[in-house]
Amino acid sequence: MTIGVLAVQGDVREHLRTLARLGVKGRPVRRPDHLAGLDGIILPGGESTAMWRLMTATGLADAVRRAILAGLPAFGTCAGMILLARQITNWPETFLGVLDVAVERNATGRQVDSFEALVTANGLGELPAVFIRAPAVREIGPGVRALGRLGDEPVLVKQGPLLAASFHPELTGDTRVHELFIQMCRKGEPWQHA
């Protein structure tokens, strides 16, 4: 199994390190041809607008969208969740627009307002979660499940082969969310029904 990590900006190394710890081959994705043969792709945390600018310039934006629409499992963390979202309530553009959620960018305010919390997630137990200028999920479509919440707010969501967290599982050393994604990437996984 090979899982790609979008490698134009953001915490790429942290995701690659987590995959390595779990014995899964990771591949930095910088160009469209790096998508060939992947079993899944991770969109890291960072700055969604910067990532999108670079993805558009390299042709990755279209290539990644096409691959996801063709069924490639994708996991977005923080900025990666914003890239996946169908709508960004406080930004004029939409990026990949493949995950049926509306998010508000920078809902936790400035960098100094970043915080850690325990998130209760279905089937995974309590997860330590780091929020850094995190998006807030304001709406979820009927095909989206909130797997984890902080208070009332969904912070870990799944829609078929798409998984997104508004926090950074790649920064805590807790590998359970990555393990869930790896499971979703296994061939023949009936994610359509999950």
Angle, to 10 degrees, between the axis of helix 12-21 and the axis of helix 176-185? Answer: 80
Tell which one of 133, 158, 169, 171 touches ligand GLN (CB under 6 A): 133
Q: Assess whether 193 carries a catalytic annotation.
A: no
Take residue 16 and report the two structure tokens written for it. 């690659």
Side-chain-facing half-sphere of 96: CA atoms under 13 Å: 29
Based on the residue annotation, tell me whether 168 is a catalytic residue of this protein: yes
Choosing from 78, 104, 178, 185, which is the catalytic residue? 78
Using the rule CB under 6 A, which residue among 13, 105, 138, 145 binds ligand GLN? 105
Least Å distance between CB 190 and ligand GLN?
31
Site for ligand GLN (CB under 6 A): how many residues? 11
Q: Is 76 in the site for ligand GLN (CB under 6 A)?
A: no
Binding mask 41-70 for ligand GLN (x = CB under 6 A): ----xxxx----------------------
For ligand GLN, which residue of 16, 68, 82, 136 counts as binding (CB under 6 A)? Answer: 82
DSSP secondary structure string for all residues of 10-79 = SSHHHHHHHHHHTT-EEEEE-SGGGGTT-SEEEE-SS-HHHHHHHHHHHTHHHHHHHHHHTT--EEEETH
Binding site for ligand GLN (CB under 6 A): 45-48, 78-79, 82, 105-106, 132-133
- Show which residues are catalytic: 78, 168, 170
